Amino acid sequence: MGLVARSLARGTANAFDRRFKAAGAVRRQASHVFPKHHSFFWGEFALYSFAVLVLSGVYLALFFVPDTTEVVYRGPFEPAQGLYMSRAYESVLALSFEVRAGLFVRQLHHWAALVFVAAMILHMARNYFTGAFRRPRELTWLGGVALLALGIFEGYLGYSMLDDLLSGLGVRIFSGLLLSVPLVGTWLHWLVFGGEFFGDIWISRFFVAHVFLVPGLLIALIGMHVGLVWFQKHTQFPGPGAREDTVVGERAMPGFASNTVANGVCVLAVLGLMAGIFQINPVFLWGPYVPSQVSTYIQPDFYAGFLIGGLRLWPRWEIHLGAYTVPAPFWVGLVLPLVMFALLAAYPFLERFSTGDRAAHQVLQRPRDNPTRTGIGAMGLVFWGILFLSGATDVLAASFDVPFELLVWAGRIGLLVLPPLAYVVVRRICVGLQRADRDVLERGVRTGVLQARPDGVYVEVRRPPGGADRQGRPIPLEYGGARVDHRPATSPEPVGEEPR
Amino acid sequence: MSGPREPTGPELERMSRGALVDLGHELDSVRIVAQEPPRRPGDVRGERRARRRVTLLLVLSLLCAAAFAWAYLFWPTGYVPPGAPGHTANLLYTPLLGVTFFGAVGALGAAMILYVRSFYPDEVAVQHLEKGPSAERDRFTAGATLAEAGEHTGFGRRTMIRRLGLTGLGAVGILGGLVAIGGLVRNPWRQRGDAPLWTTGWKPVGDEPVFLRIATGDPKDITKVRPEDLEPDGMITVVPFRESERDDPEKVHDAEMAPDNPVMLVRLPPGTPVANPPGREDLHHGDYYAFSKICTHLGCPASLYDSQQQIFLCPCHQSEFKITEGARPIFGPAARRLPQLPITVDADGFLVARGDFPDPVGPSFWEIRRGQH
């Protein structure tokens, strides 16, 4: 650094500090210790995808026209010429075909949205299975649950307002779900759509919600979420020096900051590559929304798959109360997702209540070390997975040439049978893994080498990580919650196994 | 504050940078327990190799950025139909942007990661964590301060004013909510018996006949349907048409775009056994049956027509409706029959509607059974 630059930097720092008295805080945050683990990356991945979403979204909003007014298309895209379409859809065609890199930015936005939700799901799974949500991080977890729900809703709003044939059906389904609410459904529908489906105001309202209300909430929640992670300190896996009252890792400056910025740049690069070479939601191929038209293989974005799967599986149970009706989709289209998210939100409190563990935790658990929690998580994932697959019964039926009725029944029965089964199996696997770890620590790593003892008995050679005492018996080690090395080559001297 | 004695200004001036950093870490409860250089000291070749790699990546990044800028500005773009010259080139525009973007940004990111790995010292730092609640001193003083502030407000003593004040605050909140929501509220039942949920575009106005017009998407193409237009096992989508609207393309178009209007007209093969449910015995015209295309589950067009099994299938959630049994739902989530449009043939041999659907069209709702005639 040159002399001028250095004195300039010093001057700026001094001026800043004289006004804001920030030196102490700057020093404290620069030496803030952040734990290192590759699985901590998913949250960052979601964060950087969101940043890409905001930037690309602002750009797209400069071109998108949130207007239901119908026009006849006269643009350069020949297959659509002469078709009636909303100005919204027309503006998307214009952006895709007449703006340099318009299609690129639109696909960047869509891919970033998919990656945003996917990364949130992975991030949430990581936090769940390692018990990161435990005290004192319940609020961080609740914020995360809200972010996932809002993220899915935001994505739905975004692809709906393009008003193409595929998303129009999604809006139609949303309208039907509003109508299905008991007592106030029709009023609710009129409140949102301003009248009967589809009316002429819904795109403006979806637009305001998509670019203003929901992103505002998302930004506020992300601020809270990341702020809590930072100031409560990040959790850490068990390892040397990692205790409940320490954080082991690298300091924010320069290590953590450099790495996270580099990660962000890499996320942007991957999203850009996807935007360029993987076509996503080609609305110009779907055509404009026409209420009488439909295509086959109606598939929403992946994060809505579990909703459409539920709607396909739920039987036609309309409840009649005198002259009034509770339509069947209400239970699965609105109540089920609400219950699922409520259970997610309540989980930390349910676990604390059932285990009585009220302690604050800084050190994470490996999934195997809490078999009940891991089993419940597997149960939830299997439940979600079956709903997700059932959202694609038509595609699966066509791909594997089986009647879709069979798949619907498989989904219905699977939804009841497989999650408990997953719980039992995964719990069992966890216990088995725990025993395998203990076996290594207490008796040694299996080498696969057989040894003949003088009395003719064959025993397997073991290498106990804690070494052996004078009699050649392994010295047992305590399990500390960290990974146990099962590879024979890295263990110390061999010990002959006693026959059982 | 406990811990190290506060050093004086001149003392700080004299301290080395290392000592200052150590002092800072002491204040922040941070300990550096290991700090390894990235490679053995004196490993000149390793150093040179790492420098070369980072440099190469940065140069690659710059080259790709230049390629991106070039492609962005000069590569042909815009829609060119298949077969026309330039189709393939224009098709490559977006992928080219993606690949060059990836090269520019990805190489930069890789260079950053490589740089950190190659040149930063490998450190393990441990920070002591102040767990649990605040210090007793802070908790007691905070509690007392707030209690005293509450005491000064006097709300505790003046119960009447407190209650009125809280009520007023609540009233302002409700007022805000009312203004926010109130303007959005619309009464779905304002038109009572003619409310939109009870009626469709097929509802007759005066004596004017409502014809079945093929939904073509072109309001200037008006094809009214005659029975002989349809082969047995044939199915077409029709929308309402009135002769008074013939020269008004906007109205013709609106009739086609109204979500309640699309109807599937089916001609069953002669002699197909049909079991019409009560109330639907005389809605058809010979072998011609007209059903609402709007699924009674959640409103998608239930338009996949299986003429072998006489079934309508909705592609959204796979409800199946048996055409020969009055469009009864036989599989999937839909709970109600597809509403059937009463049809007949007028004096000129055109198919016409004899009135609106007897049942409400589209997804079920709370009040739906009040509208079934």
Q: What was the pLDDT predicted at A448? A: 82
CATH class of the domain defined by A33-295: mainly alpha
Overall average pLDDT of the A393-411 stretch: 93
CB pairs under 8 A between A and B: 293
Alpha carbon of A465: minimum distance to chain B alpha carbons (Å): 24
The answer to whether A81 touches A127, Cβ cutoff 8 Å, is: no
Q: For A127-155, what is each residue's pLDDT tens digit?
A: 999 999 999 999 999 999 999 999 999 99
Q: Is residue B279 part of a domain?
A: yes
User: Judging by beta carbons within 10 Å of its beta carbon (0-12, 13-18, 19+), is residue A55 exposed, middle or buried?
Assistant: middle
Looking at the structure of chain B, the number of domains it has is: 3
Is A408 near chain B, with CB under 8 Å?
A: yes
Which pLDDT value is given to residue B243? 95
> Within a domain: residue B151?
yes
Q: Copy the structure tokens of residue B215.
A: 């939904």
In angstroms, rounded to a whole number, what is the distance separating the alpha carbons of residues B177 and A250? 49
Query: Does the pLDDT value for residue A491 go beyond 60?
Result: no
Chain A: residue nearest B300 by CA?
A169
Regarding whether B208 and B117 lie in a shared domain, the answer is no
- Which residue reads 């049909």 in tokens? B274
Q: Both B92 and B224 in a single domain?
A: no
Regarding whether B152 and B91 lie in a shared domain, the answer is: no
* Residue B313 sits at the chain A interface (C-beta within 8 Å): no
ipTM: 0.93
Provide the pLDDT for residue B1.
Answer: 44
**Quick one: average pLDDT of A73-82?**
94
CA of A254 to nearest chain B CA: how many angstroms apart? 8
Both B62 and B144 in one domain: the answer is no
Domain spans, chain A:
33-295, 305-443, 444-496
Bridge partners, residue A126, by sequence: none
Contact (CB, 8 A) for A433 and A367? no
Supply φ then ψ for residue A95, to 5 degrees. Answer: -60, -40
Say yes or no: B206 and B157 in one domain: no
Model pLDDT, residue B373: 46
The reply to whether B205 and B171 lie within a common domain is no
CB-CB under 8 Å, B129 with A194: no
**CB of A301 within 8 A of CB of A114?**
yes
Counting Cα atoms < 13 Å in the Cβ hemisphere of A114 gives 17
Could A291 and B317 be called an inter-chain contact, meaning their C-beta atoms sit closer than 8 Å? no
pLDDT category of residue A492 using cuts at 50, 70 and 90:
low
Q: Over the stretch A299-337, which tens digit does the pLDDT of each residue have?
A: 889 999 999 999 999 999 999 999 999 999 999 999 999
Query: Which residues 411-470 in chain A show a CB within 8 A of chain B?
Result: none
What single-letter DSSP state applies at residue A212?
Answer: I
* Model pLDDT, residue A497: 56
Strands B328-331 and A458-463 turn out to be unpaired
Q: For B345-356, what is each residue's pLDDT tens digit?
A: 999 999 999 999
DSSP lists the bridge partners of residue B236 as B265
- Chain A residue numbers with beta carbons less than 8 Å from the beta carbon of B258 are 291
Burial class (CB in 10 A: 0-12, 13-18, 19+), A491: buried
Same domain, B161 and B292: no
**Which of B22, B318, B320 would best serve as a mutation to test chain A binding (most A beta carbons within 10 A)?**
B318
Catalytic residue, chosen from B25, B128, B253, B297, is B297
Residue A495: predicted pLDDT: 58
Q: What is each CA distance from A407 to A233, A417, B2, B297, in whole angstroms?
A: 47, 15, 69, 19
Residue A500: predicted pLDDT? 46
Subunit contact A76:B78, Cβ cutoff 8 A: yes
Q: In whole angstroms, give the CA distance from residue B323 to residue B371.
A: 23
Averaged pLDDT, B207-233: 93
Q: Do B131 and A404 touch (CB under 8 A)?
A: no
CB atoms within 10 A of CB B288: 19
Cβ distance A249 to A35 under 8 Å?
yes
**Is A262 in Cβ contact with B237 (below 8 Å)?**
no
Say yes or no: B206 contacts chain A, CB-CB below 8 A. Answer: no
Do B141 and B111 reside in the same domain of the chain? no
> Does the distance separating the beta carbons of A78 and B316 come in below 8 Å?
no
pLDDT in tens, A159-195: 999 999 999 999 999 999 999 999 999 999 999 999 9
- Please give the residue range of the domain that contains residue B51: 44-127
The two tokens of residue B276 are: 């019409």
What does pTM read for this prediction?
A: 0.94
The answer to whether B297 is a known catalytic residue is yes
> Is residue A468 very low, low, confident or very high in pLDDT (cuts 50, 70, 90)?
confident
Task: Work out the minimum CA distance from A57 to partner chain B, whole angstroms.
Answer: 18
Asked if the structure places residue B36 within a domain, the reply is: no
Which positions 269-308 of A are in contact with B (Cβ < 8 Å)? Answer: 269-270, 272-277, 290-298, 308
A177 touching chain B per CB within 8 A: yes
Same domain, B123 and B146: no
B297 shares a domain with B169:
no
**Does residue B112 lie within any of the structural domains?**
yes
pLDDT, position A1 = 61
B317: annotated active-site residue:
yes
Q: Is A406 helix (H, G, I), strand (E, B) or coil?
A: helix
**Nearest beta carbon to residue A187 from set B132, B188, B301:** B188
Is B203 found in the same domain as B170?
A: no
CB-side exposure of A24: number of CA atoms within 13 Å?
A: 5
Q: pLDDT grade, residue B132 (50/70/90)?
A: confident
Same domain, B331 and B271: yes
Convert the pLDDT of each residue in A185-223 to its tens digit: 999 999 999 999 989 999 999 999 999 999 999 999 999
Q: Does A196 touch chain B (CB under 8 A)?
A: yes
The answer to whether B188 contacts chain A (CB < 8 Å) is yes
Q: To the nearest whole percent, how much of chain A has pLDDT over 90? A: 82
d(CA A464, CA A461): 10
Using pLDDT thresholds of 50, 70 and 90, give the confidence band for residue A498.
low
